[in-house]
Structure 1
Amino acid sequence: MLPKYKRVIIKLSGEALAGDKGFGIDPGTIKEISHKIKDASELGVEIAIVVGGGNIWRGRDGEGIDRATADYMGMLATVINALALQDALEHTGVDVRVQTAIDMKEIAEPYIRRKAMRHLEKGRIVIFASGTGNPYFSTDTTAALRAAEIDAEVILSAKKVDAVYDSDPKLNPNAKKIDKLTYIEVLNKGLKVMDSTAISLCMDNNIPVLVFGLDNPENIVKVLCGENIGTIVKED
């Protein structure tokens, strides 16, 4: 199989690492995901990953906690996930680096754009953790920002739902799958592809977003090779 893209950002939600548990990190799930990321890397694709922290802590769930403090707690949760993913990938034989937007030099490199790009050029996988390093910005926005900075061709947004629908498929059995969307349609319809800041950033920099389901980890390789699954968000 020949890859369609040369350099990508994979946006992994924290929930994707929890498996069926819904909370924490499921060793079997993270191992399976890591093997498929390795398969993708062996196609010659340069891969950077932005991982969320929702399986451990969401800033917006911090009821009674100052919003900025809650967001910083969420950033630390993404570091836990990034280190777990790094370990799992290294066990598959892949060379990996974690870079954090908040300096914690004892466990990870600081985020340096040129260094990240150099790692990618050498075939290493780079995991971006701790969001943008600022409260009030989601890991969706981090994915869009890092994609623009490292010249990624596409953001591959791995979710528990296999595509974007016109309504919640869990609540509405007649929900219709949407194959293609423009950035403006996502914003105007309030579709939960990524938050509005992230979508606006992608629109400004013409970065496509491909939403696909991670229920089958094989989908990582499939989307990289251009198979028509999920939903693509881009300009007309």
Structure 2
Amino acid sequence: MAYSRALIKISGEALMGEKPYGIDPEIVTSIAKDVSKVVESGTQLAIVVGGGNIFRGLKGSAAGMDRATADYVGMLATVMNAITLQDGLERAGVETRVQTAIEMQQIAEPYIRRRAIRHLEKGRVVVFGGGCGNPFFTTDTTAALRAAEINADVIFKATKVDGVYDRDPKKFPDAIKYKELTFQEVLTREIAVMDSTAIALCKDNKIPIVVFNLFEAENINKAVAGEEIGSLITNSR
């Protein structure tokens, strides 16, 4: 495999599949099968999961909720997704631990960096829930932060599209796909890959980002193997 330790960011919307809300069990099963192959290959894998399929803090804030309160509700939604993903992974035979930034010891471990790294070294998948524990930060930023903390070689952003485009390919058939980009280009052009804080963190810590389609069979395995799929974002090209 091209990477010895990797972090995957999976959005809450991706877990919905074609459903309007909630979690599609078939998607969870598909992710679990792909992840099991990656773990069998010897790559250490961590996952950060979003919560937009259940509750999104920004939408709650736009509807009149206090922003900090809305973000805390969103963090709880990510924990629900993390536990569901853990169940799917363990049914696929993958030993998994959930760590949360907000302590809830009856259902998950609190996030402790050294413990997370130890789990990875033992071949366990670590799923990070609860965001980074603070409002006003996205799960994209959490992914960049956790990747830096655990010394991940790469961040894989698993989405519903096969890479980064100059505009929405679902609305514009002539949208141009970027094979490679630099972090500076993403920031300067305000390309919607991750929020600017996440991009800046990856830039400063020299952590490449690979954006690819989660719904194509074995794409997680292909990405970790270093195959040229999706779009690559690095410090230089």
Query: TM-score with structure 1 length normalisation?
Result: 0.98
**Aligned partner of residue 18 in structure 2, secondary structure:** helix
2: CA distance, partners of 1:17 / 1:24:
8
Q: Deviations over 1:9-65 (max 9, x none)?
A: 000001111111132001111111111111111110000000000100110010110
**Aligned partner of residue 5 in structure 1, secondary structure:** coil
Q: Which of 49, 52, 72 does residue 51 from structure 1 map onto? A: 49
Contact 1:162 1:211 (8 Å CA) reproduced: yes
1: CA distance, partners of 2:12 / 2:36:
19
Q: Which amino acid aligns with 1:23?
A: Y
The unaligned stretches of length 5 or more in structure 1 are: none
2: CA distance, partners of 1:217 / 1:110:
33
1:134-149 superposed matches below 5 A: 134-149=134-149
Structure-2 residue corresponding to 1:180: 180
Q: Which amino acid aligns with 1:200?
A: A
Q: Deviations over 1:118-147 (max 9, x none)?
A: 000000000000000000000000000000
Structure-2 residue corresponding to 1:94: 94
Structure-1 residue corresponding to 2:200: 200
1: CA distance, partners of 2:43 / 2:172:
37
1:126-137 superposed matches below 5 A: 126-137=126-137
1: CA distance, partners of 2:215 / 2:89:
19
Residue 162 in structure 1 maps to residue 162 in structure 2: yes
Q: Deviations over 1:165-212 (max 9, x none)?
A: 111101110001100000010011111110000000001101000000
Structure-2 residue corresponding to 1:60: 58
The unaligned stretches of length 5 or more in structure 2 are: none
Q: Deviations over 1:142-168 (max 9, x none)?
A: 000000000000000000011001111
**Aligned partner of residue 21 in structure 1, secondary structure:** coil
Q: Which amino acid aligns with 1:105?
A: Q
Moved more, 202-211 or 20-29: 20-29
Structure-2 residue corresponding to 1:11: 9
Contact 1:30 1:85 (8 Å CA) reproduced: yes
Change (3 A) 1:217 1:78: farther
Query: TM-score with structure 2 length normalisation?
Result: 0.98
Structure-1 residue corresponding to 2:104: 104
Structure 1 residue 93, shift from structure 2 partner? 1.0
2: CA distance, partners of 1:196 / 1:217:
30
Contact 1:8 1:156 (8 Å CA) reproduced: yes
Q: Which amino acid aligns with 1:143?
A: A
1: CA distance, partners of 2:217 / 2:57:
27
**Aligned partner of residue 215 in structure 2, secondary structure:** coil
How many residues were matched structurally?
Answer: 234
Q: Which amino acid aligns with 2:110?
A: P
Structure 1 residue 217, shift from structure 2 partner? 3.9
1:73-88 superposed matches below 5 A: 73-88=73-88
Structure-2 residue corresponding to 1:23: 21
1: CA distance, partners of 2:20 / 2:195:
22
1: CA distance, partners of 2:200 / 2:8:
18
1:191-230 superposed matches below 5 A: 191-230=191-230
Structure 1: 4+ residue segments shifted above 2 A? none
